[in-house]
Amino acid sequence: MFAKVFSAATYGIDAFIVEVETHIESHVPSFAIVGLPDNAVKESRERVFASIKNSEFVFPSKKITINLAPADIKKEGSSFDLPIALSILQCDGTITLENLSEYLILGELSLDGMLRPIRGVLPICVRAIREGFKGIILPQKNALEASVVEGLNIYAATSLTDCIDVLNNVESKTPIRSDISEIFSQSLSHLLDFAEVKGQENVKRALEVAAAGAHNILMIGPPGSGKTMLARRIPTILPSMTFDEALETTKIHSVAGLLKHDSPLVTMRPFRSPHHTISDVALIGGGSIPRPGEVSYAHNGVLFLDELPEFKKNVLEVLRQPLEDGRVSISRSKLSLEFPSDFMLVTAMNPCPCGFFTDPNKECTCTTQQIQKYLSKISGPLLDRIDIHIEVPAVKFKELVSSNSGESSKEIQERVTVARKIQLERFREYKGVYSNASMNTKIVRKFCKIDGVGEELLKNAINKLGLSARAYDRILKVSRTVADLEKSENILPQHLSEAIQYRSLDRSSWFSQ
């Protein structure tokens, strides 16, 4: 006797179809699962056995062989419980389901036959559409997540018996749908707002410029100056996510199991803030079966690294590829995977080990050598990829007690969105270039031309302030963004002047302050 049920599994952030094949014959009772199952799949034997019996079906006392095809790809997770149970009941003749081949079946079974939620539903639904399946049956708690994918009938089940009932009466069941516009409208209200930040007007301006051009930024200031508070509000001024961005971001969170069951789609830009003790694998992703890391969880959002010099050097070095390519490649002996990791890097640090080097009210106890050693923990190649360095001074008491509130995030976001639209139009002919920060040298020379006055200003800045050579292109990119915020076609001297201010760590005078 033979039966086949279609299921699916994730591979990176994509999915592939798995054929759950069952063969039963009269022999010494046994239950074997083949097709490179991991431990979670192997343990499904016990869950399937108990759930079938507790659902008041008879478990066949025969030799049962389950094959998960294709057999050369590792299968992991507990989502095969339900399709294995259905294939056994179908193969033994306990149930007869004529339409079983038209649907993908997913779900983890508890011992009493109830269904538990699983990971990676969204990419599986996308794959189901490509493969031409009529619909998908999955646990109730995963139904909202699946319903954001149009063109696929989504049916939810609460138990093994409920799943059989759905398949027998599918024509009378109403597929679950989601209103995408309603989901996006619910994300427009942010709990955090720039209006809550007291003072720091120059820093807020630098963050606006960074958001407008997708520039990476480094904030340098004493403890308590508000660096973390400012960083957490950056997602509120970034342009709203498009549906395609939301879908790709949700796929990553779905595979990682980070998606909340009442939030079917990630519609707010992610903000990830890993601790400085994080390992390179946790940051970049990896494992025997590679999983996304923090850089991928921050895709289309913000990755915030607080206390930057405290991160291990090898951890910071692995950031170079995702910052350059917007993707992470993880290779193992048997497979190679890519995870998207296009994020805005926001970093913060103290100016010295004690933290008070630039604080006018507290005396710094560090020597010049200690400060140099502290700053040298950040490598040149990493600094090369950070366009803006901004000093964050301690907030004055007068500003703290002031009742005046600054601009709201919504007002800043409107200007940022306009600037981003200008850039999208400018780079429409350049594949993979969507913002000023991602311009290469050739594109910089084309779109960041300056007049004679601007050249003289930049020359004086490099000579008198001791700016390094790496600062030249960075200044041009940032000045292009400042001009875009003012809707100026040309880069004017005032735009260059502002951009020059955002290169604190490149100044030779830093240690003589």
Task: Report residue 512's pLDDT band, with 50, 70 and 90 as the boundaries.
Answer: very low
Q: What are φ and ψ of residue 6, in 5° steps?
A: -95, 135
pLDDT value at residue 485: 96
Residue with tokens 């703290």: 400
Most confident of 175-189, 450-464, 486-500: 486-500
Task: Report residue 401's pLDDT band, with 50, 70 and 90 as the boundaries.
Answer: low
Cβ-based burial of 469 (10 A; exposed 0-12, middle 13-18, buried ≥19): exposed
Cβ–Cβ < 8 Å for 475, 458: yes
What's the rounded mean pLDDT across residues 281-292? 85
**pLDDT one-digit tens code per residue, 317-366:** 899 889 988 899 887 766 788 899 999 999 999 988 988 887 777 888 88
Q: What are φ and ψ of residue 41, in 5° steps?
A: -75, -40
CATH 3.40.50.300 fits 192-351+362-396, yes or no: yes
What is the rounded CA–CA span in Å between residue 75 and residue 34? Answer: 10
- Mean pLDDT value across the chain: 89
* Secondary structure element (H or E) that encloses residue 456, with its range: helix 452-464
Which CATH fold topology does 2-178 show? Ribosomal Protein S5; domain 2 (3.30.230)
pLDDT value at residue 469: 66
Distance of CA 458 to the CA centre of its chain: 37
DSSP of 356-376:
-TT-TTS-----HHHHHHHHT
> Pick from 184, 187, 173: which is nearest to 148 by CA?
184
Extended beta strands in 314-439, E state: 327-331, 336-340, 344-349, 388-391
Cβ–Cβ < 8 Å for 390, 203: yes
Q: What are φ and ψ of residue 371, in 5° steps?
A: -65, -45
What's the rounded mean pLDDT across residues 423-448? 91
Cβ–Cβ < 8 Å for 156, 98: no
Residue with tokens 């001024």: 237
3-state secondary structure 67-127: EEECCCCCECCCCCHHHHHHHHHHHHCCCCCCCHHHEEECCEECCCCEEECCCCHHHHHHH
**Rounded to 5 degrees, what angle do the CA atoms 480, 217, 415 make?**
50
Cβ–Cβ < 8 Å for 12, 338: yes
What's the rounded mean pLDDT across residues 54-81? 92
Whether omega before 70 lies within 30 degrees of 0, making that bond cis, reads yes
In this structure, the strands spanning 327-331 and 217-220 are unpaired
The pair of three-digit structure tokens given for residue 313, joined into one six-digit string: 């050097």
Residue 14 is which amino acid? D
Cβ–Cβ < 8 Å for 112, 136: no
pTM, 2 dp: 0.89
**pLDDT one-digit tens code per residue, 207-248:** 999 999 999 999 999 888 889 999 999 999 999 999 899 999
Q: Which residue has the higher pLDDT, 432 or 446?
A: 446
**pLDDT one-digit tens code per residue, 191-208:** 788 988 888 889 999 999
> Looking at the chain, how many residues does it have?
513
What's the rounded mean pLDDT across residues 414-429? 95
pLDDT at 189 over 70: no
pLDDT value at residue 509: 46
The pair of three-digit structure tokens given for residue 336, joined into one six-digit string: 């190679």
pLDDT at 123 over 80: yes
Q: Where are the domains of the chain?
A: 2-178, 192-351+362-396, 439-513
Residue 365 is which amino acid? T
Cβ–Cβ < 8 Å for 186, 479: no
**pLDDT one-digit tens code per residue, 135-178:** 999 999 999 999 998 889 999 999 999 999 999 998 888 999 88
pLDDT at 510 over 60: no
What is the rounded CA–CA span in Å between residue 171 and residue 149? Answer: 20
Percent of the chain with pLDDT over 70: 95
